[in-house]
Amino acid sequence: MSRIRPYRPADRDALYEVCVKTADAGGDATGLFSDDRLWGDLFAVPYAQRHPDLAWVVESDDERVIGYIVATDDTDAFEQWFRDEWWPAFHERFPQPTDPATREERMLAYAYGRGPGKEPNASVYPAHLHIDLLPETQGQGLGRRLIETLFAELTRRGVAGLHLGMDPNNTGAAAFYERLGMLPLPTAPGGQSFGVRFAD
């Protein structure tokens, strides 16, 4: 039986693996970029690095990490840290594209453009999350349990609300968030966002 436990630093490589295996609208993105770890460098590992107390993993019977949830309770503070402290270490490995044309270049342009004040939903929904589960975890209620674990901790901290952005092609994920009571939020073209309030 799979179980949920707090993230540990030894789980870092597993976050990279689960992230790339689910990054293409929920499907395997292996080989789509020149470096498979770019997905994790943007959407998983920095969260666990800055907020290990807001990161949990799903561990299988044989002690493999097969899913995770990572989050920040303050989006603007996190994005400033990402811009100023996390991402500069990757500038040499991933140079800033001058005219983004490929999917990888557009993703890098997004990374270089991150910073506080960029997310319009952050004022009302200051927290945000990323959750990824390998196909073998599906149907066990683990995604809901991960979300409930995070929501309970954010509520305990007095965080007013949470938003998330997702690939609109991942229709299964959208349905999942709606079943959890999350509401669609205004989103730029090509994206999809949901939010939930914990306090008014």
Give the tens place of pLDDT for each residue, 46-103. Answer: 999 999 999 999 999 999 999 999 999 999 999 999 999 999 999 999 999 999 999 9
Position 59 scores a pLDDT of 96
Q: What is the pLDDT of residue 171?
A: 85
pLDDT of residue 160: 97
Burial of residue 101 (number of CB atoms within 10 Å: 0-12, 13-18, 19+): exposed
Tell me the residue type at 109: A
Amino acid occupying residue 38:
L
- Residue 156 is encoded by which pair of tokens? 């305990």
Smallest CA-to-CA distance from 165 within 112, 101, 110, 92 is with: 110
Alpha-carbon Rg for the chain in angstroms:
16
Residue 121 CB contacts under 8 Å (≥ 6 apart), including other chains: 163, 185, 186, 193, 195
pLDDT score recorded for residue 169: 86
Per-residue pLDDT band for 200 (boundaries 50, 70, 90) equals low
Mean pLDDT confidence for 154-162: 97
- State the pLDDT confidence band at 139, using cuts at 50, 70 and 90: confident
Distance, CA of 55 to CA of 131 (rounded, Å): 10
Residues in the chain: 200
Please, what is the end-to-end C-alpha distance for the chain in angstroms? Answer: 38
Q: What is the pLDDT of residue 77?
A: 98
Work out the mean pLDDT of the chain and round it to a whole number: 95
CATH topology of domain 3-197: Aminopeptidase (3.40.630)
Please say whether the beta carbons of 55 and 72 come within 8 A.
no
pLDDT at 85: 98
Largest CA distance in the chain: 48
- The neighbour count for residue 164, using CB atoms within 10 Å, is 22
More confident site: 114 or 169: 114
pLDDT of residue 168: 87
Q: What is the mean pLDDT of residues 152-177?
A: 93
Give SS3 for 188: coil
